[in-house]
Amino acid sequence: METYKVSIHSGVREMETRILQKREPAGDEVLLKVTSCAICTLEQRIWKGVIARYPYAGGHEAAGIVEAVGPDVKGVKPGDKAAVRLLNSCGECYYCRSGHENLCVASFVAHTHSGVMGAGGFAEYMTVSAKAVYKLADDVDLDHAALAEPLACCVHSIRNAKIQLGDDVVVIGAGIMGALHIRLAKMSGARVIVSELDPVRMDVARKMGADIVINASEADPIAQVKELTEGRGADAVFCTVATSTVAKQAVDMAGKLGRVVMYTSFFPDRDQPHKAPFGRADPHRLRESESGRFPDGDAPAQPEAHRRFLSDLRPGPHGRDRPRFPGGRGAQHLPYYRKALKKGLKKAGGHVKWRYQKRMVSAMNLHPLTPEQKNEYTRIAYYYYEAGQTQDQIAQRLGISRQRVNRILAECIERGIVRITVDRSPEEYFASESALEEKYRLKAVRLAHSLGADQLYGNLGVVAGQYLKSIVKRGDIIGCVPGRGVAGLVDNMPQMERTGLTVTQLMGSESRREYNLEVDSILHRFARKLSALPQPLYAPVLVSNAELRESIVREPYYQEAYAVMKRCTVAVVGIGTATTYEQYITGPNRQPGTAAAGAAAPVGEICTHCFDADGQPVEFPLSNRILAISREDYKNIPTRIGIAGGPEKLAAIRAALRGGYVNVLITDLDTAAALLDET
């Protein structure tokens, strides 16, 4: 049987070569002949003993040629060039479930080579899952392709910072990662300022497209950045230097509502690197640490997009003055992009008109579909809209998750694959909306077409998203809750680009059958759709006893989180029924004797606050164990959007309107008619 060699970290500053048996790939496995593998800081730390993990098969920045594939592999074949994603995610931990696979707690437990922990790129061959294989174009140099993984980290970092055309961006440090940040920030339409000490790296920064390079040994970089930005500070700062003093500089360089990305794992000049290297930081500035994933989801899905990422890093005929879209997205919009750059990106750093920015954002968020993807999207749309199948039926039929079906259906509308038309005249909607606004003294009412239960909340979500887009403004803090109404909004609204938005939750988390409906999942999806800063509340909605609740609310963390809740300017809530109330009463943390005997029966609930048919408060027997915004603070939120519809919600909606729990109503036409018919 044929053998191959793999290099193993066996101890501090010790390595050995092991001979292993090469085997044929099975199932969805891919056998890759490794041609290039870069050395990351992780491997350096394991070599030096800073991270003691032995034996360890290092090397996670690898590329090579596919030699053989298992019988279940699709999308790659022998002879294809490929990069690999070797820091595996478990798919089960909190971070994986919330869409942050790059932060998976089990990332280092992969066993690429039998019996040896580690990614294993320092080898002649590797056997990996097809999900970790990222097909590359034939013209991509494999030495360049080995940088696909660090490039993906930088792309993730750039996207976290939410750079817009005309933003002032500072990159501290022009090493490899700094250079990639410079290039990507420039491609995103920013004016890039670099702070560096080394003359060689300064030249690299200029070659990568930096507009201004500050010699940090000769001038105060903070003062220089403030001067260049008219005293404002930078819109985004990327710190790629693992030094605590420089980390503090990064925060000080950022302007109000600026974003700081600490692209370093820890600061080695500190005896206790786990502690914050710089005092108390503004949470609206501090973002995330180094880590990333391949853009656009699963690796095999977008090989062409990644090829363009790599090709854009190489000098080309366009030069650095004609940047291109990251990932090759929206090529048809390049004329608008170039025109916007010409109009808006002057030496002083101007801002482009919104119509050009909107076109750029739309192009970046809607990458072209492959023929296989287009076929899948069209098939799902046909089953749902033409065949009348539910999302659960479609998911079972195609062997995919219901959440994926829901996401694809929303994207079908955004891409124009599905166009929804309504037969009823607009006058009917407008008349009902005006009548409800007058009857219940509401700010606004928006009505959707009445559909079956499976489609209703998706339709309500589209209407709610349109309304929300029309009212949100810079500085708004948006509070959300769990449930179908808010999930329908989040999953069906288009991507929005607003600066200075924050999304928080108005109550603690609860355990639902569908994670898609839980508040922490909704929160992070909502923040991504709004390009907003998420402010989660890491606490359950119902604790086991009153003493524990009192202890939690006294914690500084909870008090800070609650202060954000109180400052909400917009609340987006569902309207629960008596069934929702019963779920709290009979939940896993219920104790005997908690339900108050003879208590008035509620007909509705919002944010755990119950009310009767007249909208009057009903005392919740477990209120001394609830972690949520108070009734008074909730009603002080200026705009309170309630999303609900269908006959089963009619009594709860009516009661919520009578009690003033919502002042904007998103419902369906039939429910509106029933609300108007009451005497």
Which stretch of 173-187, 317-331, 492-506, 639-653 has the lowest confidence by average pLDDT?
Answer: 317-331
Q: Does residue 84 surpass a pLDDT of 70?
A: yes
For domain 448-677, which architecture applies? 3-Layer(aba) Sandwich (3.40)
Q: How far apart are the first and last CA of the chain?
A: 85
CA-CA distance, 581 to 594, in Å (whole number)?
13
Q: Is the pLDDT of residue 128 over 70?
A: yes
Is the backbone peptide bond immediately before 55 cis, with ω within 30 degrees of 0?
A: yes
Query: Tokens 């609206």 identify what position?
Result: 284
Residue 38: is its pLDDT beyond 50?
A: yes
What CA–CA distance (Å, rounded) separates 665 from 447? Answer: 8
Per the CB < 8 A criterion, the answer to whether 103 and 95 are in contact is: yes
pLDDT at 23: 87
Place of tokens 């948006």: 478
- Return the H-helix or E-strand segment holding 235: strand 234-239
Task: Please state, in angstroms and rounded to a whole number, the distance separating the CA atoms of residues 207 and 196.
Answer: 14
Question: Residue 370 pLDDT > 90, yes or no?
Answer: no
Q: Answer whether residue 164 shows pLDDT above 70.
A: yes
How many residues are there in the chain? 679
The pLDDT value given to residue 98:
64
Q: What are phi and psi of 9, to 5 degrees?
A: -75, 115
Pick the residue with more confidence: 418 or 452? 418
Q: Which CATH number is 371-415's, of 1.10.940, 1.10.10, 1.20.58, 3.40.50?
A: 1.10.10
Whether 176 has a pLDDT exceeding 90, the answer reads no
pLDDT of res. 360 = 37
641 confidence band (pLDDT: 50, 70, 90): very high
The better pLDDT of the pair 61, 322 is held by: 61
Q: What is the mean pLDDT of residues 542-548?
A: 89
Same fold, 151-289 and 448-677: yes
Confidence at residue 672, expressed as pLDDT on a 0 to 100 scale: 92
- What residue type is assigned to position 320 of the chain? R
**Can you read off the two tokens belonging to residue 180?**
């990639």
Contacting residues for 359 by C-beta, under 8 A, at least 6 apart = 333, 336, 337, 340
Angle between helix axes 519-530 and 484-492 (nearest 10 degrees) is: 30
Whether residue 593 has pLDDT greater than 60:
no
Would you tell me how many other CB atoms lie within 10 Å of the CB of residue 128?
24
Which band of pLDDT confidence, cut at 50, 70 and 90, is reported for residue 50?
confident
CA–CA dist 588, 509 (Å, integer) = 13
* Percent of the chain clearing pLDDT 70 (strictly above): 74
Measure the CA angle with vertex 27, ends 23 and 28; round to 5°: 100
- Sheet with 254-262, strands from edge to edge, namely 212-215, 191-196, 168-172, 234-239, 254-262, 286-289
- Alpha-carbon gap, residue 165 to 28, rounded angstroms: 42
Say how many C-beta atoms besides its own lie within 10 A of residue 562's C-beta. Answer: 18
Q: What is residue 316's predicted lDDT score, i.e. its pLDDT? A: 38
Output the CA torsion 98→104→106→109 (10° steps). 130
Q: Is residue 662 very low, low, confident or very high in pLDDT (cuts 50, 70, 90)?
A: very high
Averaged pLDDT, 106-120: 68
- The Cβ of residue 283 has, within 10 Å, a number of other Cβ atoms equal to 12
Number of other residues whose CB lies within 10 A of the CB of residue 268: 13
pLDDT of residue 339: 46
- DSSP-derived 3-state class of residue 477: strand
Pick the CATH number of 3-146 from 1.10.1740.110, 3.90.180.10, 3.90.226.10, 1.20.5.510: 3.90.180.10
Question: If you average pLDDT over residues 351-370, what whole number do you get?
Answer: 45
d(CA 647, CA 615): 18
Exposed, middle or buried: residue 591 (CB in 10 Å: 0-12, 13-18, 19+)?
Answer: exposed
Q: Summarize the confidence of residues 199-213 as an average pLDDT.
A: 90
Q: What is the pLDDT of residue 321?
A: 36
Range with the lowest mean pLDDT among 47-56, 213-222, 245-254, 278-287? 278-287
Three-class SS state of 131 = helix
pLDDT in tens, 371-400: 778 878 888 888 888 777 888 888 888 888
Question: Of 362-376, 455-469, 550-564, 629-643, which range is least confident?
Answer: 362-376
Q: Which CATH code fits 151-289?
A: 3.40.50.720
For 535-550, the three-class secondary structure string (H helix, E strand, C coil) is: ECCCCECECCCHHHHH
Could you give phi then psi for residue 104, rounded to 5 degrees?
-50, 135
Asked if 523 contacts 506 with a C-beta cutoff of 8 angstroms, the reply is no
Query: Residue 344: is its pLDDT beyond 90?
Result: no
Residue 92: CB atoms within 10 A of its CB come to: 11
Please state the separation of Cα 212 from the chain's center in Å.
31
More confident: 296 or 495: 495
Span 483-497, pLDDT tens digits: 888 998 988 887 777
Q: Mind giving me the DSSP string for 251-263?
A: HHHEEEEEEEEE-
- Across the range 218-233, mean pLDDT stands at 89
453-471 helix and 402-415 helix, angle to the nearest 10 degrees: 50
pLDDT > 90? residue 453: no
Q: To which residue do tokens 């990251």 refer?
A: 326
Residue-range domain boundaries for the chain: 3-146, 151-289, 371-415, 448-677
Distance separating alpha carbons of residues 460 and 658, to the nearest angstrom: 21
Q: Flag whether pLDDT at 2 surpasses 70.
A: yes
Query: In the 8-state DSSP scheme, what is residue 495?
Result: P
Q: What is the mean pLDDT of residues 489-509?
A: 84
User: What are the pLDDT digits (tens) for 102-112?
Assistant: 677 665 555 56
| Among 4-18, 221-235, 357-371, 576-590, the least confident range | 357-371
pLDDT for 421 equals 60
Q: Considering only residues 456 and 605, tell me which one the structure prediction assigns the higher pLDDT.
A: 605
